Structure 1
Amino acid sequence: MNKNIQRLAEVAGQDERRIIGLMSGTSMDGLDVALCRIKGGGNKTQVALTHFDTIPYTDEVKAEIRKVFAKKEIDFQQLCLLNPWIGQLHGQMVLDCLKRWNLTAADVDLIASHGQTVFHAPKLQHQLAKFSNATLQVGDGDHVAVTTGIITLSDFRQKHIAKGGEGAPLAVYGDYFIFSKEGENRLMLNLGGIANFTYLPANLSASEVFTTDTGPGNTLIDVFARRFFDQPYDVDGAIAARGKVNLELLHILKKDPFFSAPVPKTTGPELFSIDYIRLAQQRSRTTSLTAEDLMATLTRFSAETIAEAVLKVLKPGEIYHVYMSGGGMHNPVLTGSIRELLPNCHFSTSDELGISGDAKEAVLFAVLANEAMVGGTTSFGDRQGVPTVSMGKISFPD
């Protein structure tokens, strides 16, 4: 037997697996690195987050990614070069974390690498009859594995699409396995670049669980924070707090067909871009809006579309607990508006469930890798957006 196959079988047979989850989202802040100790699989999964760090992307890295990010027309050579470059970069970031944590590659069984999304094209968005849903992440798994010397699972989203999903969001699987609680309806709300939530019913029925994007989370706020204030994001919502929401612009922003489409659904910065805002400003005759008022309006836009998506799934008379995660949970203007719009929900963060809200997405990919090793028996039914599927392509270090 090939020694790599033998090692993989040994990992699957262990009582506990040490898995590093890697996540870099559409906000492109950097790489989240979460080392987890995971026991069991399926609804018996037990996760302990032992180490976590976020390694910021340098301005150079961000600039290279933005050359192809969410653009229909690109330099194809740039895309080709990014795939191994990001893989090697992420691998080195893992090694740097292990050194800071006084650990070695031998202390880790697997890496679960999401990669860096550069384009997301669900059929709802591209509208091309002969093509299916599509998505593309760079950061090749072979390069992560060779750089670190650790078996790596990557490219999770392709199997989801192959089985009829849209490739995102994938949080539903990990959320269900580690956060479901009998007797409590939960919504795991991720306030990333694109916002999404997972519905976890109190009856623990896997056939009722689903996850959906709601639209922009931080992506537009971040774009205009960089554009007008030379800041990577609106720290503590301070810029939005100085502005006033423009109702005419807000009304036009919410007109896109995405918001009326049934759940589950997915989207990305390919739709919610600078051009989307420019067109909305032209239609609403708000091109002279101050930068502060624009930031206030964009923040309210995210809050209202998130809240309206949530309201569609709430059942009268039921109590719901919302657990927030992602960078947007640190923006009090955004979260305050969401709380205001959902007065009958109980709010907290995933930290209260034992997983840091900043680390949650990286942890979820570690759980997906664990499920590929020892799970795969939980049936989510045969529903759009939640196929019953095992995800992750395996790369060996030698």
Structure 2
Amino acid sequence: MSAGGMYPAGMSDKVRYIVGCMTGTSLDGLDAALVRVVGEGMWMRAEYMGMMSRDLGELADVLAELATGRAHDAIEYMRAARRLGELYAGAVSEVCEQYLPKGEKLDFAVCHGQTIWHAPEDEVGKLSWQLFDPWPVVRLCGVKVCYDLRQGDLIAGGEGAPITPAADWFLFGELGMRKHVINQGGICNFTTIPKGDHAEEVMKGISGGDRGPSNLLIDGVISRLMGKGYDKDGEVARSGQASDWLWEKLQEDAFGLKVEGKTTLGREDFDEAFFEKLMGMWPAEMSDADKVATATEAVAHVVVQSLLDSDASGSYEAGGQGDEKVEVILGGGGAKNCYLVERIKAIAETRGEGRYCVKTSDEVGIPADAREAMGFAVLGAMSEDGIAATLEKVTGADRPELAGAWAYPSNR
């Protein structure tokens, strides 16, 4: 029975309409999803209502530059934050116009903002900067806004990421069934939802983390080789000859990504220096299409290895091995890369010895593009209900605080 269908008799039937908004590390656009949340606390369930996406336009280049770590005038950050807030406001307004049921009102919006820098090992503590100005959303849409969602985890000693594993329970969880939810945005991060008979028990056992590059790697390679922003449907990769060369290099840590004590990855890990090194290492016999195919193959291995690592970690429940199937749900932009999905399924079938049933999130009722935005809507509901949005087992935080700062409209 899914999280959306396990609502017990006699519990609250409160209904909230929430818009979740997300711009990820790949800077490929803004996603806004309208979610209908029924119930409160551990028993709430989230339903997809509709979504829209907006291109960041020239703001993508501005944000990418601000995320390089190079010095900029303070006014540049302020302008970018305001412009991003205005973009979010337009998206919230548009998704409500299209999908909010007649006669209903939006309860609030949850806005991630743009990660400019993630520094989980800074000398003054664990830090992360999600650039965002919430006030355009408050002003234009007339609703309260939850934003800056990572600080409550960071101040508690956590990494501040990944932040959505707890939300995955309300989106995908089923009592009595083990699941892996893989988000393929710029970075590949995963959630493992354990098998359990009680929601509270399952929540405590959820694990997750960043596992390696996803779209940042594929997009970075194809943009430098062919000037394309991304490999649509994996067409270029499909035309090439893939090898395990890059996957082997990542395993050898040829790029210095495996820093002791570091469990999160970001755009700063796949910067110009990373790609300059990679571009100088490719075997001479590889064509450009071969290189894109090989980068895609590496990402597919990153995904499958995360499954194997999680199921070998000792957290796999007694009786959960052998012939029992484990559902794997692929979300994020990478789930739209048909060739990548095919390779994940093929490698999972071989390395997982037939144990994994791989699906895209579209196949279980949540569009791949909507998963992260929906997750943030759920995190806002959790914050409002007094539930910590991050998990100690995932981020390493010690009793994490409630996620998010809130901005409120006037009562006029």
TM-score category (smaller protein): 0.7 to 0.9
1:207–1:379 CA contact under 8 A, matched in 2: no
Contact (CA 8 Å) 1:20, 1:110: kept in 2 or not? yes
Deviations 1:65-119 (A, max 9, x none): 22212x1213133223211221122112322333445779982110000112222
Partner of residue 404 from structure 2, selected from 389, 392, 398: 392
Inter-CA distance 137–191: structure 2 relative to 1 (3 Å threshold): same
- Structure 1 position 323 matched with structure 2 position 307: no
Q: What amino acid is the match of 2:51? A: F
CA distance in 1, matches of 2:258, 2:328: 21
CA contact (8 A) 1:244 1:296 kept: yes
Alpha-carbon distance between aligned partners in 2 of 1:46 and 1:98, rounded to the nearest angstrom = 20
For 1:133, the equivalent position in structure 2 comes to 126
Distance 2:102 2:144 in 1: 14
Cα–Cα, structure 1 residues 301 and 372, in superposed 2: closer, same or farther, change >3 Å? same
Matched to 2:137, the amino acid is V
Q: Across the two proteins, how many residue pairs are aligned to each other? A: 377
Query: 1:211: how far off?
Result: 1.6
Distance between the aligned counterparts of 2:139 and 2:287, measured in 1?
Answer: 50
Match of 1:337 among 332, 336, 343: 343
Task: Map 1:192-341 onto structure 2 (within 5 A).
Answer: 192-203=185-196, 204-256=201-253, 258=257, 265-282=263-280, 284=281, 286=283, 289-314=286-311, 315=316, 316-317=321-322, 319-341=325-347
- Cα deviation for residue 225 of structure 1 reads 2.8
Q: CA deviation at 1:248?
A: 4.2
CA shift at 1:380, angstroms? 5.1
Matched with 1:8 is none
Mean Cα deviation higher: 80-89 or 166-175: 80-89
Residue 75 to residue 309, structure 1, CA distance change in 2 (3 Å): same
- Aligned pairs (5 A) from 1:1-398: 15-58=14-57, 60-69=58-67, 71-77=68-74, 78-101=76-99, 107-123=105-121, 128=122, 130-203=123-196, 204-256=201-253, 258=257, 265-282=263-280, 284=281, 286=283, 289-314=286-311, 315=316, 316-317=321-322, 319-343=325-349, 344-376=355-387, 384-385=395-396, 387-398=399-410
* Partner AA of 2:18 in structure 1: I
Name the stretch that deviates more: 135-144 or 379-388: 379-388
TM-score (norm 2): 0.83
- Deviation of residue 288 (structure 1)? 7.6
Per-residue deviation, 1:312 = 0.8
Alpha-carbon distance between aligned partners in 2 of 1:105 and 1:211, rounded to the nearest angstrom: 39
Q: Find the residue that maps to 1:145 and give its secondary structure.
A: helix
- Partner SS, residue 233 of structure 1: coil
Q: Find the residue that maps to 2:248 and give its secondary structure.
A: helix
Q: Secondary structure at the match of 1:170?
A: coil
**How far off its partner does 1:245 sit?**
3.0
TM-score for the superposition, normalised by structure 1: 0.86
Code of the aligned partner of 1:30: G
User: 1:352-377 CA distances to partner (integer Å, 9 max, x unpaired)?
Assistant: 43322221111111111111112427
Q: 2:117 touches 2:128 (CA, 8 Å); kept in 1? A: yes
The one-letter code sitting in structure 1 at the alignment partner of 2:17 is: R
Q: Could you tell me how far 1:351 is from its partner in structure 2? A: 2.9
Structure 2 counterpart SS, 1:211: strand
Which residue identity does 1:269 align to in structure 2? R
User: Residues 247-297 of structure 1: CA distance to partner in whole angstroms, max 9, x if unpaired?
Assistant: 4444223332545968x9210121123421322454x46378432222112
Structure 1 residues 116 and 106 mapped into 2: Cα distance closer, same or farther (>3 Å)? farther
> Once the two structures are superposed, what CA deviation does each residue of 1:16-53 show, in whole Å capped at 9, x if it has no partner?
11111111111212111111111223330111222211
- 1:229 Cα shift? 2.9
Partner of 2:5: none
- Secondary structure in 2 matching 1:312: helix
Summarize the Cα distance change of 1:166–1:360 in structure 2 as closer, same or farther, 3 Å threshold. Answer: same
Q: Shift of residue 310 of structure 1?
A: 1.8
> Which deviates the most, 134-143 or 357-366?
134-143
Moved more, 215-224 or 182-191: 215-224
Gaps of 5+ in 1: 1-12
Q: d(CA) in 2 for partners of 1:280 and 1:82? A: 31
Residues 388 and 176 from structure 1, CA distance in 2 versus in 1: closer, same or farther, beyond 3 angstroms?
farther
Task: State the percentage of identical aligned residues.
Answer: 28
Code of the aligned partner of 1:37: R
How far apart are the structure 2 equivalents of 1:188 and 1:266?
17
Aligned partners of 1:379 and 1:219: how far apart in 2? 24
Cα 1:391–1:104 change in 2 (3 A) is farther
